[in-house]
Amino acid sequence: MTEFGKALSVTETPIPGLLLAELPVHGDSRGWFKENWQREKMVAEGLPDFGPVQNSVAFNDERGTTRGIHAEPWDKWVSVATGRIFGAWVDLREGETFGTVFTAELDPSRAIFVPRGVGNSYQTLEAGTAYVYLVNDHWSPDADYTFLNLADETAGINWPIPIDEAIISDKDREHPRLADVAPITPRKTLVLGASGQLGRALRNRLGDAAHVEYATREDLDLRAADLAGARRWRDYDTIINAAAYTAVDAAETPEGRAEAWAANTTGVASLARIAAENRITLVHVSSDYVFDGTQEAPYTETAPVTPLGVYGQTKAAADAVVSAVPRHYVVRTSWVIGDGRNFVRTMASLADRGVSPRVVGDQVGRLTFASDLAAAILHLLRTGAPFGVYNVTGAGAPQSWADIARAVYRGTGHDDAQVTDVTTAEYFAGQPGPIAPRPRNSVLDLTKIIATGWQPSEGGEALDAYLAAEGVDA
C-alpha cells in the first residue's frame, strides 16, 4: 500500500550514481497525487539534472512479470504509477564496482535514478502495475547496450517469485551470464587540438584509454557544415577544446582575420551548440589576450574583457559563447610552454649558439607549463568544480619576457648579461606586415582555481624542471 506524507529525500546506494528517492504522495478519499519528476526540488535534494527527453510507461497485467536485466547508454528515472515492483540493479559499467547489486521495492512513493550503464530490471508484485520511466536520450540502433541474465548465479538476485515461475520473455531468458557480459564503457572524452602543446600534454595524462579520443583539425574541422553529424555526440561526456588559431600577427591581415574568426569563434559556437544539446561538458581554453593589459592588478575571472587585437577579440567572443553552455569551463591562461616550438626552447637554442638576444622587457606575466595546464583542467573535471571561468597559470612573482630569457640563460649555464631589454615598440620597429597589439600586463589572479584545491607550480621551479628535461635544448 502506498505510504502518504513522506518528505522528499534521496539516498545513495552501493552502486555509484544509483540513487533511491522517497517521494511525497498526497492522498484523500478521491485518490492520491504526487510530483513524479519536479526538476527544481529534486535537483536541490541531490538528484542529477539529467535532462529527460522521453517518458515511457510499461503496463503489466499480471503479478510476476519480470523484465531485464538491461544496461543502456542513457540515464533513467524509474517510478511506479500503480502497483508495486521488486527492482534489481546491477552495475555493468567498466570499473571496480562492476557486478555490484542493489535491490529495493518501489511503489508510487518511491523512485530510483539509474545512471548510464547500470543494469535495470524489475518484477511486478501486484497485477495491473504501471511502470514509468524517463530517459535522457532516444533509442538508437547505433548505441551500445549490455544485458545480464536474470538468473545469473554471480549476481544472486533473490527474486520474490522464483525465476522459473515468473513471466519472462524468451529474449530475456537468453541473456549472458556476468562472466560473458561486455561492460559498458564510460562516455567519451574528446580532445581537440591534439597536436598542439596542450593537446600533447593532455595525451600524456589521459593516455590511450578506449573512451578518450584525440582529434586535429584534419580529423574534425569545427567549421564544417556537417559538424553536428560528425559524431554520435550523445556518447560524449567531455570535450576539451585545446585548438585555436594563434597567429596573433597574421590575424591582423584580411586573410588571417577571416581565418581567426572562423576557427576561434564561429567553429567554437558550433561546438557550444553541440555541447548544450547533448549535455556535454565543454572545456574551452582562452587567453590573457582578452584583456588590454592596462590594469595594474592581476586580472580576475570577472574582469571585463577589453581585447586590443583581432586574436583577442575572437577569443573574447568565444568565451561569451561557451559561457552560455550549461556545463562549461572557460580556462584562461597565458604564455604556454610545452612540447613544441616555444619561447623557452628558442632562448635555450640562442644561448647554446652564443647569441645575445634583444628581448621585450615591458610585457609582464607568468609562464604556464602545458603539463600543469593539462593537470588543472583534469582537476576541474574530476573534482566536479563549479562550472564557470578559471584562470590557470604558473604561480610566483610576475616576470617580463626578458626576465624569463635571463632565467633560461642561467639555467642552461650561460651568462644572463647577454640578454638585453627592449620595449615592445623597439622590438617590432621595422618589421614588415601588421603587428598585433600585446597586453602589457598579462598577470592572471589565481585565487579561484586555488580555492578548488589546485596548487599551481611555482614558475622558477617549473622552468628549472623544464630545462632539465631531455631534449629541451633542441
Residues acting as catalytic residues: 70, 133
Q: Is residue 443 within 8 Å of residue 392, measured between CB atoms?
A: no
Torsion over CA: 293, 296, 298, 302 (sign): negative
DSSP SS3 for 8: coil
- Take residue 255 and report the three cell numbers written for it: 586573410
User: What is the residue-wise DSSP string for 285-320?
Assistant: EEEGGGS-S--SSPBPTTSPP---SHHHHHHHHHHH
Single-letter amino acid, residue 312:
G
Minimal CA–CA distance to 344: which of 243, 468, 200, 195?
A: 468
Q: Is residue 463 within 8 Å of residue 367, measured between CB atoms?
A: yes
Residues paired with residue 400 on neighbouring β-strands, in sequence order = 364
Phi-psi region at 119: left, alpha or beta (left = phi > 0; alpha = psi -120 to 50)? beta
- Take residue 446 and report the three cell numbers written for it: 589565481
Biggest CA-to-CA distance, the chain: 94
Single-letter amino acid, residue 1:
M
Q: How far, in Å, CA of 118 to CA of 15, rounded?
A: 8
DSSP letter (8 states) at residue 263: I
Buried b (16+ CB within 10 A) or exposed e, 14-26: ebebbbbbbbbbe
Place of cell 621551479: 461
Listed in sequence order, the residues at least 6 apart from 287 whose beta carbon sits closer than 8 Å to its beta carbon are 311, 312, 315, 332, 333, 334
Q: Where are the alpha helices (DSSP H) in 31-95?
A: 39-44
Single-letter amino acid, residue 45:
E
